[in-house]
Amino acid sequence: MSTLGRRRMLAGLALLPVFASQGTLAQAPGAPGPSGSIAPPPLPMVYSRRLERTLVDDARIVVERRFAIRFTPAATGFMVDGEQIGVAVDMPDHLEALARLERERVETGIFPLELDQRGWIRSGLSADAVPEIDEALRYVEATLASIERSADEQQRLRDFIAAIHEAGSTIISSLPVDLFAPADSDRSDQRSIALPAGGQGLVQTHFSARRDPATGLMQTARREVITTIAQDQRRTTELFTLV
């Protein structure tokens, strides 16, 4: 990887989660789901996702989008169609140009979604879907394999650290597969990674949710991804609602 390429990768890490599309690729939950079917209401609902990312200087990037969605019964479950109806963006002053672009952008990559009878996202999944943190760390391994074996050990270490933090970005670029009908109310996972110069990096995920007992659908959910290397910690929080 060239010096320019490294700089671009490092500069983009802080903003990657903001612009990552929540497409139909979904990540697996940590526990089996309920056996019954969800019962969505016939009227439209409002789905929102608020993303908050801390930067290295403790500044925050916050982006919240709201969508009008409708559940339609299908042969194997449900189809979910939706369109964006609102967006709110809060970024530091020096990122105002990017904030303006994000306010103007209309997210079209989420819907339609295909759900099975349990309410789990069907599109993009395989029978061997792995926990989301494992999928992210596979990406880290692939990134590290592409880094040139430079004589500059400090640069190699910086590239390694960047790849670990990017694991957090990889996790939140996908919706939890059981987001609309959470399999359990609280789950956590973590992985440690040995650093080339000693010490460890840590990637942690925490997911909690509350379901509507009448419909089986998610009411609120929260996902947090934390990457830690020595004193350097990056935290990304997502808040989901369905009303």
| Residue 101 pLDDT > 90 | no
144 against 41, higher pLDDT: 41
Measured CA angle at 90 (ends 140, 210), to 5 deg: 70
> Quick check: 235 and 225 in contact, CB under 8 A?
yes
> Residue 183 class from Cβ within 10 Å (0-12 exposed, 13-18 middle, 19+ buried)?
buried
pLDDT range class, residue 231, cuts 50, 70, 90: confident
Average pLDDT over residues 171-179: 79
d(C-alpha 173, C-alpha 23), whole Å: 8
Question: Which range has the top average pLDDT, 57-66, 105-114, 120-129, 146-155?
Answer: 105-114
Measuring CA to CA, how many Å separate 161 from each of 85, 134, 200?
37, 17, 10
| Residue 36 pLDDT > 80 | no
pLDDT at 22: 44
Indicate whether this model's pTM tops 0.75.
no
pLDDT range class, residue 115, cuts 50, 70, 90: very high
pLDDT range class, residue 191, cuts 50, 70, 90: confident
Regarding beta strands 175-176 and 26-27, do their DSSP bridges make them parallel or antiparallel, or are they unpaired?
A: parallel
The candidate with the shortest Cα–Cα distance to 89, out of 15, 170, 180, is 15
The distance in angstroms from the start CA to the end CA of the chain is 46
| Residue 10 pLDDT > 90 | no
pLDDT at 138: 56
> Quick check: 145 and 121 in contact, CB under 8 A?
no
The tens digit of pLDDT for each residue in 198-218 reads 667 788 889 999 999 999 999
Those residues whose C-beta lies under 8 Å from the C-beta of residue 218, and which sit 6 or more positions away, are 179, 180, 181, 182, 209, 210, 211, 212, 240, 242
Regarding beta strands 77-90 and 218-229, do their DSSP bridges make them parallel or antiparallel, or are they unpaired?
A: unpaired
d(C-alpha 26, C-alpha 120), whole Å: 9
> Quick check: 137 and 167 in contact, CB under 8 A?
yes
| Residue 168 pLDDT > 70 | no
